[in-house]
Structure 1
Amino acid sequence: MKIVIVTGSSRGLGASTAIECARNGMGVVVTYNSNPNKAKDVVNTIAQNGGRAVAMKLDVGDISSFSAFRDDVAGKLETVFGRDDFDYLVNNAGYGLFNPIATVTEEQFDGLF
Structure 2
Amino acid sequence: MNKIAVVTGGNRGLGKDMVLALAKEGKDVIFTYNSKESEAGDVVKEVENLGRRSAAIQLSVDRQEGFDAFFNELSRVLNEKFNGAKIDYWVNNAGIGLPTVLGATDESSFDTLMNIHMKSPYFLVQNALKVMNDGGAIVNIGTGLTRFSMAGYSVYGSLKAAMETMTRYWALELGKRQIRVNAVAPGAIETDFGGGMVRDNDEINKTIAAATALGRVGLPDDIGSVVAFLCSDSAKWVNGQRIEVSGGIHL
Structure 1 and Structure 2 fold alike (TM over 0.5): yes
CA contact (8 A) 1:14 1:92 kept: yes
| Number of matched pairs | 112
Offset at residue 35 of structure 1 (A) = 0.7
Counterparts of 2:39 and 2:93 in 1: how far apart (Å)?
16
Offset at residue 111 of structure 1 (A) = 2.7
Counterparts of 1:9 and 1:56 in 2: how far apart (Å)?
10
Letter in structure 1 aligned against 2:111? D
Offset at residue 99 of structure 1 (A) = 7.9
Offset at residue 68 of structure 1 (A) = 0.8
Identity %: 39
Offset at residue 34 of structure 1 (A) = 1.4
Q: Find the residue that maps to 1:62 and give its secondary structure.
A: coil
Question: 2:36 is matched with which residue?
Answer: 35
**Higher RCO (CA 8 Å, separation ≥ 6 residues):** 1
Gaps of 5+ in 1: none
CA contact (8 A) 1:30 1:56 kept: yes
Letter in structure 2 aligned against 1:78? N
Q: Return closer, same or farther for 1:61/1:75 CA change in 2, 3 Å cut-off.
A: same
Question: 1:57 is matched with which residue?
Answer: 58
Which structure: larger Rg? Answer: 2
Question: 1:23 is matched with which residue?
Answer: 24
Offset at residue 106 of structure 1 (A) = 2.1
Q: TM-score, normalised by structure 2?
A: 0.42
Question: 1:106 is matched with which residue?
Answer: 107
Q: TM-score, normalised by structure 1?
A: 0.88
Offset at residue 21 of structure 1 (A) = 0.8
Q: Find the residue that maps to 1:63 and give its secondary structure.
A: coil
Q: Deviations over 1:64-93 (max 9, x none)?
A: 011110111011011111124211101110
Counterparts of 1:4 and 1:65 in 2: how far apart (Å)?
21
Letter in structure 2 aligned against 1:75? R
Counterparts of 1:34 and 1:99 in 2: how far apart (Å)?
24
Offset at residue 105 of structure 1 (A) = 3.8
Q: Find the residue that maps to 2:65 and give its secondary structure.
A: helix
